[in-house]
Chain A
Amino acid sequence: MSYALAVGDFVSTDTAKPTAGRDRIFYGLVLLNAVCLVATLQIIFLKAPVESTMGIVQKIFYFHVPSAVGMYLGAGACFLGSALYLAKGDLKWDALARAGADVTVVMGLMLIISGPLWAARAWGRYWTWDPRLTTSLLNVLIYVAYTVMRSFSAGGEAERKFAAALGILGTANIPIIRYSVQKWGGQHPRVITKGGGGLSHPDMKLALMMGFVTFLLLSVVLIWQRMRLHMAQTQVEALEQEALELGIAGD
């Protein structure tokens, strides 16, 4: 079945030889990500100085902000995949949208778990209904809804199209998160945003830069891995359908 073969050329199996080159790039990225992670941890804990007012808890910042960027990247992938699926109807774009949503949920959870832990020390409370915190939580909930819907729906074309619409609409919240601090104020720090004071020490800047590199690589690796997984799932469904048509009793 051409549909199964079209899916299969992206999936890593013994019989799908064209993926060998992609696999090498993928595992190269994983290795690079691991090296960056170790280097980032070294810089954060051994090189970057402790912040003068908040103390050591401020070091959460070097992964907290990059996890927000990872969340944006995941949401961007979900938007791109959804839009291209609606435009072209190719299942690989639907897999990209699903992968993007998965990564948005994980990065978003990292963000909204680490933020309150930092706030407990900095603000004396875990949570306030600050505009940025509220919009970030809303964003995670949107993508949790997306992934739950995809996990429990039958996976037909109507569900895929509905999910694509949700994937596109969900992205509308991203610029609201980004500009909520400038528009509505609130308690959330704006150290590195426009009008903020910036990081005063070069090692603090280096730690943040390394955090960004590590989380961008991690997001790309996770999106790629989840996309492969969703493509393989689609291929299994197609092969099972073909087996049914040929009258082979499946497990």
Chain B
Amino acid sequence: MSQEPILTIENVSKRFTKDLDLAERAARKLGARIAPMTVHAVDDVSLSIRRGEVLGLVGESGCGKSTLGRMVAGLSAPSSGRILHEGRDTAKLKGAEARDVALKVQMVFQDPMSSLNPRMRVRDIIGEAPQVHGLVPRAEVDAYVERMLAQVGLDPATARRYPHQFSGGQRARVGIARALAVRPDFIVCDESVAALDVSIQAQVLNLFAELREEFGLTYLFVSHDLGVVEHISDRIAVMYLGRLVELGAAEDLIARPNHPYTRALVAEIPSFETGKKTYHAIKGEIPSPMNPPRGCHFHPRCPHAHDRCRIEVPRLRDVAAGRLSACHLNDRAA
């Protein structure tokens, strides 16, 4: 693994705004105090991903991890900030260069059934993009698709089937084959194993590891399951309500979590108990991203919150070698 970043995310934010409808606009004209609602799905996140590494991105529902993954894959544009692919700003690229970067970064989705066209044969699902982009001559597409299928552990004879003729685990493999077919060097996996049974999940995780070796791929592995992320990742980034709260080497972060939220997540990693476990849950629920708490977003649920947490947003800063954390407690200790 080299230190050179393949992808750099610089101060990226994504805001979703719900515009006022007619009645609300009319009410505003009449003096009602109604403002358009804005959700900061991703709030000023900076990250760099090194060539060949697996960066795990974890967090609970609504933390913005999938939105960030979609922006990296080029499926939605950041509201502010830049995403650089090998030093080039992806938003400023034009023509062949833009297409090239778009092909280099591919995505594997959570639910293969809603990301595979049910009316297309697997041969076309996998073969269409490489053919359109001229990566494979028309005459060789069939052989190419069969090679891709074999690559992900499917029987090449299944190329003429439709997605519904596969089981969940096989559909996940088809989704992976489709992403690989355009020869990417970077894959965003958005909850790619979340919907699978445990035994199938293990098969697909092993497949991800094999393909990484074989093609020298870099992964951004988005998941809510810290157990899975820990297994596959080199580094882990933890998000909470749109903000990055901790980043560090996988094993070190799990062994010595710094941020109280990471500590709570680590405590909930499934483990096999040979006695009854007492669950120590952190209190409260994830606040609505529509109306996030002031200061540190985590303070209402944090057992260590003090006055400063309620007012000032903690900055992400170095707390140890290769470890960033956004928590005011680190200032106290220092």
Q: Do A and B come from one complex?
A: no
Instruction: Using CB atoms and an 8 Å cutoff, list the residues of chain B in contact with chain A.
Output: none
A interface residues, Cβ below 8 angstroms from B: none
